[in-house]
Amino acid sequence: MTKLDCALTIENVDKYYGTVRALSQINLHVKPGEFLTILGPSGSGKTTLLKCVAGFETINGGRLLLGEADITDKDPGARNIGMVFQNYALFPHMTVEQNVAFPLVMRRMGRAEIAKRVADALELTELGRFAKRYPRQLSGGQQQRVALSRAIVFEPSLLLLDEPFGALDRKLRETLQLEVRRLQRELNLTTLFITHDQEEALLMSDRIAVMFDGELHQVSGPEEIYQRPANARVANFIGESNLLKGKLSAARGSATTLRFVLESGISVALAARNDAACSVDGEKVLLLRPEHLSPCIDSGCVGNQKNVLPTTVEELVYLGNVSRYRLRMQDGTELVMRLSGSGPKLRVGDAVRVRFSEDDAVLVAAERHTLPPRVLAEVA
Amino acid sequence: MIPRSRSSNRSSIWFLVAPAALFMLVFFLYPMAGLLIQGFSEGGKAFLTLFGTDLYLRVLWATFETAAIVTVAALLLAYPVSYLLATTTRGWRLVGFMVVLLPFWTSILVRTYAWMVLLGRNGIINRVLLDAGIISSPITMLNSPFAVQLGMVHVMLPFMILPIYNAMLRVDRDLAMAARSLGAGAFSIFSRIYLPLTMQGIIAGCTLVFVLSLGFFITPALLGGGRVTMFAMVIEQQIRETLNWPLASAMSILLLVLTLAVFWLLNRLNVHSRRWSA
Amino acid sequence: MKAVRENGSSYRIVTVLGRAPLQLYSAVVFIFLILPILVVFPLSFTPTSYLVFPPPGLSLRWYERFFNDYAWMQSIWRSLKIGGLTTVLAIAIGIPLSFALVRTRFRGASLVEQVVSAPIIVPHIVYSVSIFGVFFALGLVGPWYGVALAHTVLALPFVVIVVMAGLRSFDRNLELAAMGLGASRLQAVLRITLPSVAPSIVTATFLAFITSFDELVVAMFLAGADATLPKKMFESIMTAIDPTVAAVSVVQIVIVSLLLVIVALAGGKLIGPEE
């Protein structure tokens, strides 16, 4: 199959349902061949955005561009976009073959050509021997693969996936995630993926666009999203987080560190960085990931070492490879700490001081900041 | 009334089932058997009469024709209406169903009478047309095949709407969207996706309407005014006028056999779609 | 077809033409459906003794005539008696059978179910001839209970189908849960199962009654000289052309509408799944 890799540009898109604003100034540029995930909770607008890109919903402002072409006014069928639906949407009265052939039949291709392309597509997803079966005779995972074949057989310029793995069990989901990614790379197909599952997003994506309430909050690679979330809400959504309120002190700790004073009065040192969060005004919050905390035990923390917090152990949950501790500071603040199985064992009621390195401490904005569109879109 | 227990009490099941079984035996199976006996009495002479009389055969054919016309008309009227009901908002659906179900539950006599009132020479339609000056003298609509078919379509319409509506409900809403994203136009979506998927409902509705029309008596008798004869009316004649048991039985058996044949035939059409349906 | 619109209405996937033709077409069909029923209303109030539209005035004389007429009232009474007995019989026979068919397995269950459902397929005229043959020989043509027995055969399938459906959709675990919480079997059935199945029973009762009350063909054969309401109506239509029948029709429609409302309020599942 030839490779068609177009860029998708979503420019200043607004959408209203009556007076309710569903999408607000969405700017997104998906690079050719890139796998970009739109991640957000239900109601965030991610499905609405997908439907606008696909052409099933109209937009009230802005433009949609696929490659060089403006597709804003085009019919869904004319946009040359392949879409995989949440519940597969396979035609139950057609065989697997007929389902996959459908878009080619719509494009009035010759029968021999159709047969060849369908066979190729089915081979790609390893469904060759199910060609003559009906959807209801296939398992969930197989049906999903048929939906995928059908969406790519006509060589679309863009692939859209609407939470395609929601209905599958964990093992199957992991298998299909890797398969979809492999296929996408092989075809170098520009892909837009929608999910509310942050693990899935981190696993599969080249970049992630985090969305809440119809607005984009951050667009970055997985590592950046996890380690340097743009604001507290993003931090909370991705992985577990300890968010501590406080204020940046005017006085710096040193040339390379900033000082952040917690509400309880404890002073904390952070590595100075050119974060987008630091450069804007507004309230800041300190982010500590649970795995970045470690207890001071035995040779642990020296007297007045920085970045040490006194806590008491409230709860311990054993998860096999890690243990998850809930700790409480004197002023009532709760912290979550994760230790690997081979680490020290603490008991409920123990008083333990936990420390973290200044490199691991991250400053995030308390609220989403309105950055110029270009900045949000191009942060990578 | 007793939840399934490991020791299924034989006698308690008997109490539950016996009344129904006995009742049906005495008041259904026995009379139907009597029908067979009467019909085939004297070596089946009645059947020879039946098939030998030109009049009866013509009436039978006319009955088939009428049933077919009514079925097709009902289908054409019902399909779009069912679609509207299946895809509209809850409020309108309620209204729609009231409109469909109210005639359904109203006595057939009342409805047929109403059509007589509407279609008569002094009836409402003629009145309105005369007063509006569209026609200069009343049109005769009553006592004709047209009136019978119209009345029958009116009676049969809910029977066609409901099965088709049910079939449409089961069509996955995403399928039309998927087809559009794959490049299908409105006509393709209808002919390749929607129609095949609702075919089961269509066949169910058509079966029901056709079979009911075959055996219909009341509406043809009233709206036909003696000029239109359906097979059921001929059967009734044999009893009322001549008390000709064998002939009436033979005709009834024929009607029953034809009814069952239609069921079986249309059921075969559904077999194909069973392969892929859940 | 501009994609960017001011009011942001969504693009519905129906037809290229839009929904207006569909709605128009459906409106026409709906008018066709409801028109005859509406028509009898004004007609029943006409002061004239012949059918004329629009009626030149408003009068209740035909209603008076109807309610004062001995023959009409007798026919209603008869239909009510027959309907009542039919309903009682159909329910009494049908509900236990439904329980047995849904909850137990016994040999011949499938056969019994098919036989009980058979009257639906048999044209009424065919059944009428057969039952008339039997009753004629027994001299049972005429008495109202004879008609009721025949009507019960016609009503039974509906009762069984509806009650079976209601039972099937009832989650047995609720009963077991109740028993686990201390209820006896009987208590569980009375307090949990029956209330849950009640809507189906109400619907079944309604169906049985209507099947009998409205039935004409069997009644024509079996009722003899004394008429049921449908039979009297039929004869009236064939002979006299006065608007009494219109008044009777209105009374019928009103009764049925009321019953429909009652059934709907009792949780009828006539309409289908909620959106």
Q: Is residue C82 a contact partner of residue C148, using CB atoms and an 8 Å limit? A: yes
Question: CA nearest B160: which of C29, C252, C126, C267?
Answer: C29
Q: What is the pLDDT of residue C17?
A: 52
Contacts for A129-134: CB closer than 8 Å, 24+ residues apart: A130/A96, A131/A95, A131/A96, A131/A97, A132/A95, A132/A96, A132/A97, A133/A95, A133/A96, A134/A92, A134/A93, A134/A94, A134/A95, A134/A96, A134/B275, A134/B276
Q: Say how far residue A210 (Cα) sits from the centre of its chain.
A: 6
Task: Give B86: exposed, middle or buried? Use CB within 10 Å, 0-12, 13-18, 19+.
Answer: buried
- Rounded Cα gap, residues B69 and C176, in angstroms: 53
- Average pLDDT, integer, range A185-204: 93
Contacts of A83 in chain B (CB under 8 A): 178, 181
Each residue of B15-72: pLDDT tens digit?
A: 889 999 999 999 999 999 999 998 888 878 888 888 888 889 999 999 999 999 999 9
Residue B13 and residue C104 in contact, taking contact as beta carbons nearer than 8 Å: yes
In Å, how far is B273's CA from the nearest CA of chain C?
23
Chain C residue with minimum CA distance to B190: C15
pLDDT tens digit sequence for A371-380: 544 444 444 3
Say if residues C119 and C217 touch (Cβ distance below 8 Å).
Answer: no
Q: How far apart are CA A250 and CA A253, in angstroms?
A: 10
> pLDDT at position B21, please?
92
CA atoms within 13 A on the CB side of C46: 20
pLDDT at res. C1: 32
Q: Which of C77, C34, C42 is nearest to C250 (CA)?
A: C42
**What residues does A192 pair with on adjacent strands?**
A36, A160
pLDDT of residue A185: 92
Neighbours of B253 (CB within 10 A): 22
- Higher per-residue pLDDT: B72 or A3: B72
CA dist list (Å): A93 to B82, B171, B200, C218: 21, 11, 12, 44
Q: Is the pLDDT of residue A158 over 90?
A: yes
Nearest by CB to residue C257, choosing from B87, B102, B217, is B102
User: Within a 10 A sphere around the Cβ of C16, how many other Cβ atoms?
Assistant: 9
The closest CB to that of B109, out of C96, C230, C272, belongs to C230
Strand partners, A309: A354
Q: Could you give the CA distance from residue B40 to residue B52 in angstroms, rounded to a whole number?
A: 16
C-beta atoms of B34 and C237 within 8 A: no
Q: What mean pLDDT comes out for the span A99-122?
A: 93
How would you classify the pairing of strands A242-248 and A284-288?
Answer: antiparallel
* Alpha-helix residue ranges (DSSP H) falling in A188-221: 198-204
Q: Which of the other chains make 3 or more beta carbon contacts under 8 angstroms with chain C?
A: A, B
CA distance A288 to B208: 70
Tell me which chain C residues have a C-beta less than 8 angstroms from the C-beta of B259. Answer: 121-123
Decide: helix, strand or coil at residue A138: coil
C13 touches chain A (CB under 8 A): yes
Q: Which residues of C touch B186 (CB under 8 A)?
A: 15-16
Structure token digits, residue A310: 């006194």
What is the model's pLDDT at position A302? 67
In this predicted structure, the answer to whether residue C60 has a pLDDT above a threshold of 80 is yes
Domain ranges of chain C: 23-59, 70-274
Query: Which of C1, C2, C10 lies at the smallest CB-CB distance from A57?
Result: C10
pLDDT for position B120: 81
Cβ within 8 Å of residue C3, ≥6 positions away: A55, A58, A59, A72, A73, A74
- C14: contact with A, CB 8 A cutoff: no
The residue of C4, C5, C14, C16 whose CB has the most chain A CBs within 10 angstroms, and thus the best one to mutate to test that interface, is C4
- Dihedral over Cα of B2, B4, B7, B11: its sign: positive
Pairing type for strands A284-288 and A362-365 reads antiparallel
Structure token digits, residue B232 = 């059921």
CA gap C116, C97 in Å, rounded: 10
Cβ–Cβ < 8 Å for A297, A354: no
Say which of A55, A77, A92 has its CB closest to residue B182: A77
pLDDT (0 to 100) of residue C9: 33
Distance from C-alpha of C187 to C-alpha of C202, rounded to nearest angstrom? 21
Above 90 in pLDDT, residue B206? Answer: yes
Assess contact for B253 and C130: CB atoms under 8 A.
no
Looking at the partner chain, which of B87, B89, B110 has a beta carbon nearest the beta carbon of C253? B110
Alpha-carbon torsion (A274, A280, A286, A290), positive or negative: negative
Helix/strand/coil percentages in chain B, nearest 5: 80, 0, 20
Q: Give yes or no for a cis peptide into C54 (omega within 30° of 0).
A: yes
pLDDT digits (tens, 9 = 90+) for A73-101: 888 888 999 999 988 899 998 999 999 99
pLDDT band at C274 (very low <50, low <70, confident <90, very high): very low
| pLDDT given for residue A299 in this prediction | 55
Instruction: Tell whether the model's pLDDT for residue C247 goes beyond 80.
Output: yes
| Largest CA-CA distance found in chain A, in angstroms, rounded | 80
In C225-253, which positions are buried (b, 16+ CB within 10 angstroms) versus exposed (e)?
eebbbbbbbbebbeeebbbbbbbbbbbbb
Contact C221, B62 (CB under 8 A): no
pLDDT score of C29: 93
Tell me the average pLDDT of chain C.
82
Q: What is the mean pLDDT of residues C176-203?
A: 82
Give pLDDT, residue B125.
Answer: 82
Under CATH, to which class is C70-274 assigned? mainly alpha
At B90-119, the pLDDT tens digits run 888 888 888 888 888 788 888 888 888 888
Measured on CA atoms in the order B26, B27, B28, B33, is the torsion positive or negative? positive
Cα atoms in the Cβ-side hemisphere of radius 13 Å centred on C250: 18
C14–B252 C-beta distance less than 8 A? no
Please, where are the H alpha helices in C10-108? Answer: 20-44, 61-68, 70-103
Are the CB atoms for C236 and B113 separated by under 8 Å? no
Q: List subunits contacting chain B, requiring 3 or more Cβ pairs under 8 Å.
A: A, C
- Report the interhelical angle of C20-44 vs B90-105 (nearest 10°): 40
Separation between Cα atoms, residue B43 and residue A162, nearest integer Å? 72
pLDDT 10s digits, A255-270: 777 788 888 888 888 8
Portion 127-186 of C in contact with B at CB < 8 A: 127, 129-134, 149-150, 152-153, 156, 160, 172, 175-176, 185
Higher pLDDT, B141 or A31: A31
Task: Please list, residue by residue across A267-282, b when 16 or more beta carbons sit within 10 angstroms of its beta carbon and e when fewer do.
Answer: ebbbebeebbbeeeee
Q: What band does C125 get if pLDDT is binned at 50, 70 and 90?
A: very high
For residue A274, what are its two tokens?
A: 């050119």
Give the amino acid at C156. L
- Of the two residues B107 and A10, the one the predictor is more confident about is A10
Residue B74 confidence class, pLDDT cut points 50, 70, 90: very high
Residue A283, phi-psi category: left (phi > 0), alpha (psi -120 to 50), beta (remainder): beta
Question: Tokens at residue A6, please?
Answer: 């177009």
CA distance A9 to C124: 68
Instruction: Tell me the mean pLDDT in the region C28-32.
Output: 92
| 8 Å CB contact between A62 and A50 | no
pLDDT of residue C271: 41
CA gap C33, B153 in Å, rounded: 10
pLDDT band for position C266 (cuts 50, 70, 90): low
CB contact at 8 A, A350 and A312: yes
- For every residue of C178-194, DSSP letters joined together read HHHTT--HHHHIIIIIH
Confidence of residue A210 (pLDDT cuts 50, 70, 90): very high
**Interface predicted TM-score (ipTM) of this complex, two decimals:** 0.84
- Determine the Cα–Cα distance for residues C223 and C219; give it in Å rounded to an integer: 5
Number of CB atoms found within 10 A of residue A317's CB: 11
Which tokens hold the place of C52?
């004329």
> Cα separation of B74 and B68, whole Å?
10
* Chain A residue with Cα closest to B180: A77
CB C118 within 8 A of CB B28: yes
Q: How far is A161 from chain B (nearest CA, A)?
A: 12
pLDDT at B124: 78
Q: How far is C6 from chain B (nearest CA, A)?
A: 23
Ramachandran assignment for B183, one of left (phi > 0), alpha (psi -120 to 50 degrees), beta (any other): left
Chain C: give the shortest CA distance to residue B276, in Å: 23
